[in-house]
């Protein structure tokens, strides 16, 4: 999981670990690691232009999917979010991609506009979009989709 600062990554992780009673196995300034059913969940809190691969320690030596969090209440950040997303997707193989549109209760942009602006139609890998608001959000369907994608690929 990556996203610009203040996109809401940490809040989302806390909600996920609370709701699904998953264990945060490590949390720090740079990364949070979470055990979510059969896959490990890694959040990079301060990713910039460096490749995710460069941040990986030997325990997490392969990335199976990418979750990108974007703050829909902050129009000024949308362009930078797209740039970050593109630079990261370029460095990863065609892994399943989940876009979480955060703070959708305060959105300044619609889901359709983000899909167009982020050029998701052009992606070659499977992708899925989920909007979340300030309440404990229903991330379950999106995470289940991700799990199914990873599982299918590994079968």
Ligand X SMILES: Nc1nc2c(ncn2[C@@H]2O[C@H](COP(=O)(O)OP(=O)(O)OP(=O)(O)O)[C@@H](O)[C@H]2O)c(=O)[nH]1
Binding site for ligand X (CB under 6 A): 3, 5-11, 45, 102-103, 106, 132-134
Give the shortest CB-98-to-ligand X separation in angstroms.
16
Please say which residue, 5 or 134, places its beta carbon nearer to Mg ion: 5
User: Is-contact 71 64, C-beta < 8 A?
Assistant: no
Q: Which does 55 bind (CB under 5 to 8 A by kind): ligand X, Mg ion, none?
A: none
The residues pairing with 32 across neighbouring beta strands, listed in sequence order, are 27, 43
Q: Binding partner of residue 100 among Mg ion, ligand X, none, CB under 5 to 8 Å per kind?
A: none
Work out what residue 8 binds among Mg ion, ligand X, none; the CB cut-off runs from 5 to 8 Å by kind. ligand X
Cβ contacts of 124 within 8 Å, gap of 6 or more: 94
What is the C-alpha separation between 70 and 63, in angstroms, rounded? 20
According to DSSP H, which parts of 26-107 are helical? 52-55, 75-91
77 contacts: CB under 8 Å, gap ≥ 6: 4, 6, 7, 70, 71
Of 36, 99, 112, the closest CA to residue 69 belongs to 99
Closer to ligand X at the Cβ: 104 or 127? 104
Of 123 and 136, which CB lies nearer to ligand X in the complex structure?
Answer: 136
# of chain residues touching Mg ion (CB under 5 A): 1
Distance CA(48)–CA(96), nearest Å, equals 21
Q: How far is the CB of 139 from ligand X (least distance, A)?
A: 11
The alpha carbons of the chain give a radius of gyration, in whole angstroms, of 14
Q: Which is nearer to ligand X, 46 or 144 (CB)?
A: 46
Interaction pattern, residues 1-40, with Mg ion; x per rule: CB under 5 A? ----x-----------------------------------
CB of 47 to ligand X, least distance (A): 9
- Sites of contact with Mg ion (CB under 5 A): 5
């Amino acid at each position: 999981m990556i996203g610009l600062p203040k996109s809401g990554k940490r809040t989302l992780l806390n909600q996920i670990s609370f709701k699904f009673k998953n264990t945060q196995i490590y949390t720090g300034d740079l990364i949070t690691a979470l055990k979510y059913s059969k896959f490990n969940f890694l959040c990079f809190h301060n990713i910039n232009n460096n490749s995710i691969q460069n941040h990986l320690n030997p325990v997490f030596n392969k990335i199976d999917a990418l979750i990108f969090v974007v703050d829909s209440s902050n129009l000024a950040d949308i362009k930078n979010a797209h740039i970050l997303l593109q630079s990261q997707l370029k460095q990863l193989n065609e892994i399943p991609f989940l876009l979480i549109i955060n703070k959708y209760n305060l959105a300044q942009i619609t889901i359709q506009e983000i899909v167009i602006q982020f050029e998701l139609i052009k992606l070659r890998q499977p992708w899925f979009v989920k909007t979340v608001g300030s309440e404990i959000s229903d991330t379950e369907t999106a995470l289940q989709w991700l799990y199914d994608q990873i599982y299918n690929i590994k079968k």
